Amino acid sequence: MNILYLHQYFNTPSMPGSTRSYEFARRLVSRGDTVHMITSDWQGRAPSRFSVEKGIFVYWLPVSYTNRMSNTQRVLTFIKFILYTLKVGSKLKFDLVVASSTPLTIALPALWLKYKEKVPLVFEVRDLWPQLPIAIGAIKSSVLIWLAYKIEKMVYHASEKVVVLSKGMHVELLKDGLPNKKLRTITNLSDIEHFKVVSEEGQKFRQKFSWLANRPMIVYTGAFGRINGLSYLVEMALEIKKLNREVRFLLVGDGYERDHLSYLAEKYGILNQTFFIIDYLPKNEMPILLSAATIATSFFIDLPEMENNSANKFFDALAAGKPIMINYGGWQADLLRETQAGLVVPAGDPQTAAAQLNTLISDKVTLKKMCAASKHLATRFDVETCFNLFAKSIDTAYDIHQGNAS
């Protein structure tokens, strides 16, 4: 099958960020499909305007994107990508379109190319758009809100299959009237094989930093966006310093709030003392980083809409066999409580969270049990398991379309 795969934020393992589309696409190639990936060089790391990555034909639009951008800059970026996708996609031959959001605007070229070529569409929903940007105030205009919901309804109706990344998303779309048979839940990926590194590698990472040595290290990786609310983590680091001066916090990434986080940590006298920030690491270096971690984290602001998230950092921590600390409710919190693979701390109460964390760090037996539970839980979300579900969704979508066409 010839597959046109649209994902504005596609990454290879040599780049920071999610590699879900890469892992799925290269496995589609391995089973005999041809995959054309249209994406953007949003990090400025693409080898050229066109490259072949593990057999995937990748078309890179040279336009950047960061969550530091204004809303106007973001809209212009989305428009550029829509036009680029239409230009490249119109020149290719394909039997099926896969489109992965965010952003929701990916639906526009996906719909155009689907109807132009009369092919089936598989639409992947990574976050519930437009519900999430509306909830955080990123979309305020009543006209834009109406338009966003209109696009959402159109793409769901036109898709033969809609892939969502959590059961919570699945439930929400059922409430919106989507038939269950159209939906498929496929979470983010725990790449167990990739994260299987010897402990010596983690020790080598620790030796790079004089401030770390053998001290407990709490790691956050990913975006420093407004929605992540990482000032909570700064407040928590301040509180735990009063309880245990040996604990170190390491944030690895970048984003809108980076300068504010540095300012806050410096104000509290913990920046480069017990609280550290370094730039993004490529995905293929994440296993070594997490091998060195004591506890991995995932954080969001206190927003009900975020409880349905499927954050990559959560699944990477599982793959690395590390306890996970989160500060939100929903299905991941339920999972951690059920399996004892991590710690759920209260939103908006970093002082209590610091006390809970310090108790856990001091309990080596419980930490060891959590590591084992995390590693075991990862098997539920293994890459091959998730890919098989994804491949089945594509094949089913193709068969449904062929049946309708005949």
Q: What is the pLDDT of residues 73-108, one digit of tens each?
A: 888 899 999 999 999 999 999 999 999 998 889 999
- Angle, CA of 25, 11 and 209, to the nearest 5°: 135
Average pLDDT over residues 367-377: 97
Segment among 42-46, 177-181, 187-191, 282-286 with least mean pLDDT: 42-46
What is the fold of 2-189+382-405?
Rossmann fold (3.40.50)
Q: Do the first three CATH levels of 2-189+382-405 and 199-381 match, i.e. the same topology?
A: yes
Which tops the pLDDT comparison, 266 or 137?
266
Residue 391 pLDDT greater than 70, yes or no: yes
Buried b (16+ CB within 10 A) or exposed e, 286-316: bbbbbbbbbbbbbbbbeeebbbbbbbbbbbb
In percent, how much of the chain has pLDDT > 90?
A: 84
Nearest C-alpha neighbor of 190 from the set 285, 123, 97, 287: 287
Segment among 134-138, 268-272, 391-395 with least mean pLDDT: 134-138
Distance CA 100, CA 106 (A): 7
**E-state strands within 44-186:** 50-53, 56-61, 96-101, 121-125, 161-164, 183-185
Average pLDDT of the residues of the chain:
94
Distance CA 260, CA 154 (A): 39
For residue 104, the model assigns a pLDDT of 87
Contact indicator for 381, 315 with CB cutoff of 8 Å = yes
For residue 178, the model assigns a pLDDT of 94
Structure tokens at 352: 């209590």
| Architecture per CATH, 199-381 | 3-Layer(aba) Sandwich (3.40)
Residue 67 pLDDT greater than 80, yes or no: no
Cis before residue 130, ω within 30 degrees of 0?
yes
Residue 406 pLDDT greater than 60, yes or no: no
Question: What is the value of pTM for the model shown?
Answer: 0.94
Residue 55 pLDDT greater than 90, yes or no: yes
Average pLDDT over residues 336-351: 96
Q: Domain map of the chain by residue range?
A: 2-189+382-405, 199-381
Q: What is the pLDDT of residues 155-203, one digit of tens each?
A: 999 999 999 999 999 999 999 899 999 999 999 999 999 999 988 999 9
Residue 133 pLDDT greater than 60, yes or no: yes
Distance CA 22, CA 194 (A): 14
